Structure 1
Amino acid sequence: MDLNTVVEIRDARRPAPWRPGDAWLGGGTYLFSEPQPHLRRLVDLSRMGWTPVRRHPDGSLELAATCTIAELSCYARDLIAPAAPLFEQCCRAFLASFKIWNMATVGGNLCNGLPAGPMISLTAALDGECLLIAQDGTLRRVRVADFVIGAGRKDLAAGELLRSVTLPARALACRTAFRQTSLYGLGRSAVLVIGTLDPVDHSVAITVTAATVRPIRLWFPLAPTAAALREAIDGAVADGEWFDDIHGLPEWRRHMTFRLAEEIRRELVEEEWR
């Protein structure tokens, strides 16, 4: 879609004061998908030259905000880590064409803050941490689970840039379990639940996305019972936080969250007992 209110595209490599009507441009798959009448200038990040995925000496994985879904999927195929399958599962949760895969970015998916954003699901489940850069160069870090605070709402100040998301080595060493459902065979995620089992201390984390307006990550020092898991989810998600749109009613999303979370709990517990 043409953005007929945009009068300038600026190269992000050439700093300039941020002003009302500015927006960061990554892949543009959201920006150009619908009218954006408030925009006047796009600040293009495509030439920043950031390495899409970088493995640090401590074993952590840093995903550049400009890393495309195609680049992440390709990297994950050769990733040697117990959590590696989760990357492809979340990439496939896009249910998008190859054109979207080659343009949509990890950072764009997070900064849209949509409940069904599968990069939010992936990075929240693996305890990811966002690196944010303010206009004055100030850096701050915030966990992905705290970065998205509602449907389309982020902890992001005007002009602040999401530079990257870092996934800790310990999270990559976890066993994972993935469940997703939709009202349609090839529909948008209505419920997406991910479980992780830490091989060091045997703790379990359950992350709920798509069904809720923000990612909900629950941590248990040991595998919870079915009743404890259900109670924890019920306590963590307020009544108004179950998402409501044409892809599923809140009551159905809540029911399916309990069902899929229990399937994950059993899968991880059975794997632990082997």
Structure 2
Amino acid sequence: MDLNTVLEVCDGREQAPWRPGDAWLAGGTYLFSEPQPRLRRLRDLSRMGWEPLARLPDGSLEIAATCTIAELSRFGKALDARAAPLFEQCCRAFLASFKIWNMATVGGNLCNALPAGPMISLAAALGGRCALLAQDGSRRVVPAAGFVTGPGTNDLAEGELLRSIILPARALAARTAFRQASLSALGRSGVLVIGVADPLDGSLAVTITASTVRPFRLLFPQPPAATALRAAIEGAVDEAEWYDDLHGLPAWRRHMTLRLAEEIRSELTASGGR
């Protein structure tokens, strides 16, 4: 879609002051999907030169905000880590054509903050952290599970930029379990639940997305009983926080979340799991 209110596209490396009507441009799959009447200038990140994926000295993984879904998928398939299958599972949770896969970015999916965004699910489930850059060059880091604050809203301040997502090495070595539900075979996720079992301390993290207005990551020092897991989910998610749109009613989302969370708990607590 043409953005006929945009008057200028500038290089994202330029130190031009931020002004009303500015927006960061990465893959552009959202920006060009519908009218954006408030926009006047796009600040293009395509020339930033950020390495899409890099292993840091401590073994953690840094995913640049400009990394495409296709690049992440290829990396996940070659990754020698126990949690590697989760990368492809989340990439495949996209309702997207190959064109979107090759243009859409990991950072864009997080910043767009749709409840069904599977890069949000991946980053939150693995205990990721979001590195944010302000216009004055200062940097802050926030948990990925708290970066998305609601449907279409996030923790970015005016002019602030999501630079990268950092996944800890410990999470990459964890056992994972993935469950997704949609109202149709190729429909947008109505429920997405991920379990991550820490091999070192035996803890279990259950992350709920798509069915709720924001991510919920519940951490248990030891795998809980079925009744305790259900009580924890119902205690964490208020009635108003079950998402309601044409991809699923809140009652259905709640029911399926509880069901899939129990499946994950059973899978990750069974002896000889993946």
Q: Report the TM range for the smaller structure's normalisation.
A: over 0.9
TM-score, L = length of structure 1: 0.99
2:179 is equivalent to residue 179 of structure 1: yes
Aligned twin of 1:166:
166
Aligned twin of 2:217:
217
Partner-residue secondary structure (3-state), 1:63: strand
Cα deviations by residue, 1:147-169 (Å, 9 ceiling, x for unpaired) = 11111110110000000000000
Partner-residue secondary structure (3-state), 1:146: helix
Aligned twin of 1:269:
269
TM-score, L = length of structure 2: 0.99
Question: How far did 1:272 drift?
Answer: 5.6
Residue 270 of structure 2 aligns with an amino acid whose one-letter code is E
Matches within 5 A, 1:1-274: 1-271=1-271
Q: Distance in 1 between matches of 2:31 and 2:260?
A: 33
Unaligned ranges ≥5, structure 1: none
Question: How far did 1:271 drift?
Answer: 3.8
Question: How far did 1:47 drift?
Answer: 0.8
Q: Is the 8 A contact 2:267 2:273 kept in 1?
A: no
Cα deviations by residue, 1:105-139 (Å, 9 ceiling, x for unpaired) = 00000000110000000000000000000100110
Mark the CA change 1:75 to 1:37 in structure 2 (over 3 Å): closer, same or farther.
same
Cα deviations by residue, 1:244-273 (Å, 9 ceiling, x for unpaired) = 000000000000000000000000011467
Unaligned ranges ≥5, structure 2: none
The percentage of aligned residue pairs carrying the same residue is: 73
- Alpha-carbon RMSD: 1.0
Question: How far did 1:59 drift?
Answer: 0.9
Cα deviations by residue, 1:75-106 (Å, 9 ceiling, x for unpaired) = 11111110000000000000311100000000
Structure 1 runs of 4+ with >3 Å offset? 271-274
Q: Distance in 2 between matches of 1:88 and 1:169?
A: 18
Question: How far did 1:57 drift?
Answer: 1.9
Q: Is the 8 A contact 2:130 2:144 kept in 1?
A: yes
Partner-residue secondary structure (3-state), 2:194: strand
Residue 57 of structure 1 aligns with an amino acid whose one-letter code is P
Residue 173 of structure 1 aligns with an amino acid whose one-letter code is A
Q: Distance in 2 between matches of 1:271 and 1:79?
A: 25
Question: How far did 1:15 drift?
Answer: 1.4
Partner-residue secondary structure (3-state), 2:270: helix
